[in-house]
């Protein structure tokens, strides 16, 4: 990265001292991640957001829904800053509150809301988390989805899972032993979600039709191709991948899980990793004694994670030094109160 920008970021961070706390998601660019005080997956970052109550500013190097969650979980006198406001998440954008409320009304008309526990993946807007909190549900991340579903099925007999169909299906079928037929797909763009009353009555998992376009690029062919090309390779993927890809993989887990699995892997072992490219490249460099490769032959960055680059980070830090507070992410108090219920429920999962 540009040495001048590195020097400016270092100087601005030093000038701010303990007033600033920088969090970085594992998909961030190397040029940014080097300035993070803590790096993590979505779960760890949600936990860590509240770890420094004395820091006035939390600079969140990640995407919008993560910064919103940090705002919900931190004190009123702390401000959360997203260095580029355009760093969203296309999956989170696939569930809009009005659509989710329309689905819930449909379930109400059928008389089944009493049995349904809403569960939302962390990758959702604060108002979706608020909806879930109001309706006695829980947030989950890729590292605790099974525990969240186990808890939910103790509260009710059905789960309405938002917005990632793949995480919902993969967890229910591959971790909890459900049948594929126990899951139905609610399409917000079709009347009634595209489902009959009987389908809704019989389903155990009502999956929202959302997905991650980055992880959606990995296919069964990617797995077959790498297994042919690299005999003995271990295929390790994120649970946002399609069901058939996760089923064909050897291991599945969150970004933090992927890092730990590769740390623990023996020298000389080969790994094809199905997740975002910044992370896979960093892991390959960190483990020269292991053969670590990207699962697909095409490159696949998360374009919105990548929006946070060193120039944006330097700008945000220098604004703070100058006494201005840029790009503050604030969730209104009503929404935050409901969303906090669902987030606290996740943090309290056994
Ligand atoms: P993790 O919680 O595994 O870090 O995943 C977050 C994410 O956005 C994956 O696409
Ligand atoms: Fe969203 Fe996918 Fe990017 Fe994760 S990788 S932030 S789910 S678009």
Q: Rounded to the nearest whole angstrom, what is the distance from the C-alpha of residue 28 to the centroid of ligand 1? A: 11
**pLDDT surpasses 90 at 211:** yes
> What is the reported pLDDT for 200?
98
At a CB cut-off of 8 Å and minimum separation 6, what does 34 contact? Answer: 1, 6
Average pLDDT of the chain, as a whole number: 97
> What is the reported pLDDT for 300?
82
CB 27 within 8 A of CB 212: no
Domain co-membership, 169 together with 63: no
In this structure, the dihedral spanned by the alpha carbons of residues 331, 100, 254 and 280, taken in order and rounded to 10 degrees, is: -80
Domain co-membership, 145 together with 176: yes
CB 331 within 8 A of CB 78: no
Domain co-membership, 125 together with 178: yes
49-70 residue pLDDT tens: 999 999 999 999 999 999 999 9
The pLDDT-based confidence of 1 (bands split at 50, 70, 90) is confident
Residue 346 is assigned to a structural domain of this protein: no
Q: Rounded to the nearest whole angstrom, what is the distance from the C-alpha of residue 40 to the centroid of ligand 1? A: 9
250-272 residue pLDDT tens: 999 999 999 999 999 999 999 99
Domain co-membership, 135 together with 187: yes
Number of domains comprising the chain: 3
| Known binding positions for [4Fe-4S] cluster | 89, 212, 302
> What is the reported pLDDT for 122?
98
- The residue segments making up the domain with residue 31 are 3-89+305-330
> What is the reported pLDDT for 273?
98
The residue out of 180, 211, 242 marking a domain boundary is 211
Taking the C-alpha atoms of residue 301 and residue 281, their distance in angstroms, rounded to an integer, is: 11
318-349 residue pLDDT tens: 999 999 999 999 999 999 999 999 999 999 99
* Residue closest by Cα to atom 2 of ligand 2: 212
Could you identify the residue written with the tokens 């604030």? 330
> What is the reported pLDDT for 92?
98
137-182 residue pLDDT tens: 999 999 999 999 999 999 999 999 999 999 999 999 999 999 999 9
Ligand 2, pocket-test mutation among 90, 121, 122, 141, most atoms within 8 A of CB: 90
**pLDDT surpasses 80 at 79:** yes
Q: Rounded to the nearest whole angstrom, what is the distance from the C-alpha of residue 63 to the centroid of ligand 2? A: 8
> What is the reported pLDDT for 297?
87
pTM above 0.80, yes or no: yes
Write out the chain in H/E/C secondary structure.
Answer: CCHHHHHHHHHHHHHHHHHEEEEEECCCCHHHHCCCCEEECHHHHHHHHCCCCCCCEEEEECCHHHHHHHHHHCCCCCEEECCCCCCCCCCHHHCCHHHHHHHHHHHHHHCCHHHEEEEEECCCCHHHHHHHHHCCCEEECCCCHHHHHHHHHHHCCEEEEECCHHHHHHHHHHHCCCCHHHEEEECCCCHHHHCCHHHHHHCCEEEECCCCCCHHHCCHHHHHHHHHHCCCCEEEECCCCCHHHHHHCCEECCHHHHHHHHHHCCCCCEEEEECCHHHHHHHHHHCCCCEEEECCCCCCCCCCHHHCCHHHHHHHHHHHHCCCCCCECCCCHHHHHHHHHHHHHHHCCC
In this structure, the dihedral spanned by the alpha carbons of residues 49, 52, 58 and 60, taken in order and rounded to 10 degrees, is: -40
Query: What is the Cβ-side half-sphere exposure of residue 167, based on CA atoms within 13 angstroms?
Result: 32
The pLDDT-based confidence of 298 (bands split at 50, 70, 90) is confident
Q: What percent of the chain is modeled with pLDDT above 90?
A: 98
The pLDDT-based confidence of 239 (bands split at 50, 70, 90) is very high
Ligand 1 binding pocket includes 123 (Cβ within 6 Å): yes
The residue out of 195, 211, 227 marking a domain boundary is 211
**pLDDT surpasses 80 at 299:** no
**pLDDT surpasses 90 at 118:** yes
User: What does residue 268 show for φ and ψ, rounded to 5 degrees?
Assistant: 90, -10
Mean pLDDT value across residues 11-38? 98
Q: What percent of the chain is modeled with pLDDT above 70?
A: 100
ipTM score here? 0.98
CB 142 within 8 A of CB 254: yes
Ligand 1 binding pocket includes 68 (Cβ within 6 Å): no
Task: Give the CATH number for residue 252.
Answer: 3.40.50.10800
* Residue closest by Cα to atom 6 of ligand 1: 42
Residue 339 is assigned to a structural domain of this protein: no
> What is the reported pLDDT for 295?
97
Residue 341 is assigned to a structural domain of this protein: no
Residue 20 is assigned to a structural domain of this protein: yes
């Amino acid at each position: 990265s540009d040495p001048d920008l590195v020097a400016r970021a270092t100087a601005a961070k030093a000038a701010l001292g303990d007033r600033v706390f920088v969090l970085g998601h594992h998909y961030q660019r190397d040029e940014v991640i080097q300035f993070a005080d803590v790096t993590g997956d979505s779960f760890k970052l949600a936990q860590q957001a509240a770890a420094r109550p004395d820091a006035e500013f939390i600079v969140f190097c990640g995407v919008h829904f993560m910064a919103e969650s940090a705002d919900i979980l931190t004190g009123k006198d702390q401000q959360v800053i997203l260095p580029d406001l355009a760093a969203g998440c296309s999956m989170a954008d696939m569930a809009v509150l009005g659509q989710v409320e329309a689905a819930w009304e449909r379930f109400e008309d059928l008389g089944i809301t009493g049995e349904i526990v809403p569960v939302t993946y962390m990758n959702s807007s604060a108002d979706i988390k608020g909806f879930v909190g109001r309706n006695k549900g829980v947030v989950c991340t890729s590292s605790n989805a099974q525990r969240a579903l186990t808890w939910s099925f103790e509260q009710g007999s059905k789960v309405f899972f938002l917005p990632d169909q793949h995480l919902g299906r993969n967890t229910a079928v591959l971790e909890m032993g459900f049948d594929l037929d126990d899951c139905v797909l609610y399409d917000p763009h079709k009347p009634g979600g595209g489902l009959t009353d009987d389908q809704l009555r019989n389903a155990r998992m009502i999956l929202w039709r959302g997905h991650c376009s980055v992880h959606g690029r990995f296919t069964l062919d990617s797995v077959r191709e790498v297994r042919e090309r690299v005999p003995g390779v271990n295929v390790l993927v994120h649970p946002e991948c399609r069901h058939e890809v996760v089923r064909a993989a050897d291991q599945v887990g969150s970004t933090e899980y992927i890092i730990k699995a590769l740390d623990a892997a023996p020298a000389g072992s080969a790994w094809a990793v199905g997740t975002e490219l910044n992370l896979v490249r960093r892991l390959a460099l960190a483990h020269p004694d292991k053969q670590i490769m990207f699962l697909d032959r095409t490159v696949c960055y998360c374009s919105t994670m990548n929006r946070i680059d060193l120039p944006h980070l330097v700008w945000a830090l220098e604004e703070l030094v100058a006494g201005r507070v840029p790009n503050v992410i604030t969730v209104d108090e009503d929404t935050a109160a409901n969303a906090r219920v669902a987030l606290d429920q996740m943090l309290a999962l056994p």
